[in-house]
Amino acid sequence: MKLWSKTNTSTAAAVDQFTVGRDKEFDQMLAPFDVLGSIAHTKMLATVGLLSSAESELLVKALQKIYTKVTAEGFTIPDGVEDIHSYVEFLLTEELGDAGKKIHSARSRNDQVLVDIKLFLRASVQELVTETLQLFTLLQQQSEKYKAHLLPGYTHLQLAMPSSFGLWFGAYAESLVDDMTVLEAAYKVVNKNPLGSAAGYGSSFPINRTFTTELLGFDNLNYNVVYAQMGRGKTERIVASALANIADTLARLSMDMCLYLNQNFSFVSFPAELTTGSSIMPHKKNPDVFELVRSYCNRLKALPNEITMMTTNLPSGYQRDLQLLKEHLFPAFTELRNCLQMVHLMLSHVEVKESIVEDEKYRFLFSVEEVNKLVLNGVPFRDAYKQVGEAIEKGQFTYTPRVQHTHEGSIGNLCTEKIAAMMNKTIEGFEFNKPEKAIQSLLS
């Protein structure tokens, strides 16, 4: 069953199989959003006289029933049906006859897919924000809990200066703030309505695109109908870049944890049930969760480049190449949410070792502290640096394994509340309430 089938033509089975590919698999994920777009489109058609009020009312009620059907556990698109768009139209026509056949007026599968993807991405971003915020909150809690636990800081993977677990947890919390800022920007690109652009060149029907924008809770329109189609591929690339930023934060955190759990560092430990063992070495407690998070997230960091290469040199207008983007981008949300959840689980149970830096092997962490003490007593910095350096070379370096850092963002002044305020302001910028209310209205 194809919307575009003619009476006397058919597609070769091999071509059909190749061109459809895995598309039906991802149409399952788009199904609820296709119905929502159809409800908004139906309501709009009635306002411009392309449907009667009675037809519109019947169609909306039928679409709401279909929404329940496609959101039920175990829903699948039946064999022999080309895609979710044709299936929804088939169900409507089966129940309502000619009224069901009218629903495709003034739109194309091109803008149907576009609006479905925008709605899917919008919902997926919201779920991702929720998961990220939970990890952010935990990082801040752990930052405050362990703010007095000093930790060696490294540059070039060599001992550098004193740090703390308060700083370490807080650093990744603030990293997520910047990640959310980028994701918010991507969300604003997503949250524009392409419906009504049809095949990419608009319609001769007097449709009201502002009305469907309001019904679907979009912030604005993709006004230019050609750009609405050109935005496909670009939107996915922008979203992928935002996902890659979060992935980068998690990958780097995971690498730190793999090092810190290593016996040569031995800064942290985890309950045995959160680590894995060896088939031959009975002492092993492996950080498999963090290793897999690192690998998943490094793969996600390649996603923007994959999409860039798949859309390189495409002309304006729709091209079938764009179909394949779903296979790369859609699963990325699930993978990233899984990684966020697993990092949250692990860090909820992390055990931080105390008195790490009191071990004499970390003595040179405090060389800068000793230089600064001399400076505070009036010695010029370059002379103080030379004095401490000579003491180290002669084996005469003495130190105190304590620090007193008070400036903003330092060991003694983490600015946890300031960072939380930045995150809260960023989250408010998404304004999720607007689309939530719009969707509830469409379904009521």
Shared-domain flag, residues 309 and 180: yes
Residue 5 predicted with pLDDT over 60: no
The predicted pLDDT at position 6 comes to 52
Do 286 and 175 share a domain, yes or no? Answer: yes
State whether 95 and 132 are in the same domain: no
pLDDT of residue 351: 95
Work out how many domains the chain is built from and give that number: 2
**CA separation for the pair 70, 81 (Å, rounded):** 14
Same structural domain for residues 70 and 118?
no
> Of 63-67, 69-73, 74-78, which range is least confident?
74-78
Write out the chain in H/E/C secondary structure.
Answer: CCCCCCCCCCCCHHHHHHHHCCHHHHHHHHHHHHHHHHHHHHHHHHHCCCCCHHHHHHHHHHHHHHHHHHCCCCCCCCCCCCCHHHHHHHHHHHHHCHHHHCCCCCCCHHHHHHHHHHHHHHHHHHHHHHHHHHHHHHHHHHHHHCCCCEEEEEECCEEEEEEEHHHHHHHHHHHHHHHHHHHHHHHHHHCEECCCCCCCCCCCCCCCHHHHHHHCCCCEECCCHHHHHHHHHHHHHHHHHHHHHHHHHHHHHHHHHHHHHCCCCCCEECCHHHCECCCCCCCCCECHHHHHHHHHHHHHHCHHHHHHHHCCCCCCCCCHHHHHHHHHHHHHHHHHHHHHHHHHHHHHCCEECCCHHHCHHHHHHHHHHHHHHHHHCCCCHHHHHHHHHHHHHCCCCCCCCCCCCCCCCECCECCHHHHHHHHHHHHHCCCCHHHHHHHHHHHC
Residue 10, pLDDT score: 64
- Co-location of 178 and 38 in the same domain: no
Mean pLDDT over each residue of the chain, to the nearest integer: 93
Same domain, 291 and 343: yes
Sign (positive/negative) of CA torsion 259, 261, 264, 266?
Answer: positive
Is residue 99 within 8 Å of 53, Cβ to Cβ? no
The per-residue pLDDT for range 326-350, each reduced to its tens digit, is 999 999 999 999 999 999 999 999 9
| Domain end marker among 101, 123, 142 | 101
pLDDT at 208: 96
Residue pLDDT, tens place only, 140-188 = 999 999 999 999 999 999 999 999 999 999 999 999 999 999 999 999 9
Same domain, 97 and 122: no
Question: What CA–CA distance (Å, rounded) separates 62 from 60?
Answer: 5
Residue 248 resides in a domain: yes
Q: How far apart are CA 169 and CA 136, in angstroms?
A: 9
Same domain, 274 and 346: yes
Give the percent of the chain with pLDDT over 70. 96
Residues 345-385: pLDDT tens digits? Answer: 999 999 999 999 999 999 999 999 999 999 999 999 999 99
Asked if the structure places residue 5 within a domain, the reply is no
Contact 413, 405 (CB under 8 A): yes
Q: Residue 280's pLDDT band (boundaries 50, 70, 90)?
A: confident
* CA neighbor of 179 nearest in space, from 247, 100, 112, 234: 247
Is the residue at 412 inside a domain? no
User: Could you tell me if residue 35 is inside a domain?
Assistant: yes
CATH number at residue 150: 1.20.200.10
Same structural domain, 143 and 92: no
Shared-domain flag, residues 18 and 144: no
Is residue 408 scored above 80 in pLDDT?
yes
Could you tell me the pLDDT band of residue 95, with boundaries at 50, 70 and 90? Answer: very high
Quick one: 167 and 316 in the same domain?
Answer: yes
pLDDT at 281 over 70: yes
Position 407 in a domain: no
Q: What are the tens digits of pLDDT across the range 189-230?
A: 999 999 999 999 999 999 999 999 999 999 999 999 999 999
Question: What pLDDT, on a 0 to 100 scale, did the predictor assign at position 2?
Answer: 54
CATH number of 85's domain: 1.10.275.10
Which phi and psi angles does 286 have, rounded to 5°?
-90, 145
**pLDDT tens-digit readout, 104-146:** 999 998 999 999 999 999 999 999 999 999 999 999 999 999 9
Is residue 308 in a domain? yes
The answer as to whether 20 is a domain residue is: yes
The residue range of the domain holding 78 is: 13-101
370's tokens: 């000793």
Contact 241, 234 (CB under 8 A): no
